[in-house]
Amino acid sequence: MATALKYFTVYFLSGLKFIFGPTFGVANDLPVPAIIILTALGMMTTIYLFTFFGDEIHRFFGRFRKNKKIFSKKSRRFVRMWRKFGLKGLCLLTPLVLTPPGGGLLVNLLGSKKKLILKWMWISALIWSTVITLIVKYAFWLIEDLVTI
């Protein structure tokens, strides 16, 4: 039961903040392939939620906003990012910079096709989950070697 909870935690944390999943998984000595798969699945669960329910989520939370400015500093920054990087760039930046909820909501609100969003987010999730897991794994390995010296 405790092991299943560790696997679920990697999955859940990856949906919120991408780096937390691999870090937790490596710290708890989970197998690298499992960490990579669970990290990608965690992110993609969030992306699927925002892709298919993003408009409803935006409308729901929009009712609670007091400041209804359309052109805020934040919205201008997002549009600048969109113009500079496009869909592919934002999808590749999502795990590192935007977090899965932020990137998922952004690419959906800016009107991308769902099929393309999912394709590029899957590519991004698989690439970055592999890279980050291996970096964290070998960083922990290096730290352990330095501590034993």
Span 88-145, pLDDT tens digits: 888 888 888 888 888 888 888 777 888 998 999 999 999 999 999 999 988 877 776 6
- By percentage, how much of the chain surpasses pLDDT 70? 91
- Checking if the pLDDT of 78 tops 80, the result is no
Residue 35 forms part of a structural domain: yes
Backbone phi, psi, residue 29, to 5°: 55, 40
- By percentage, how much of the chain surpasses pLDDT 90? 41
* 8-state DSSP, 19: T
pTM (global) more than 0.85: no
- So what's the pLDDT on residue 139? 82
Residue 64 forms part of a structural domain: no
| Domains held by the chain: number | 1
- Domain holding 85, by residue range, is 2-59+69-148
- So what's the pLDDT on residue 6? 94
pLDDT tier, 1 (very low <50, low <70, confident <90, very high otherwise): low
- So what's the pLDDT on residue 67? 66
As a whole number of angstroms, the longest Cα–Cα distance in the chain is 58
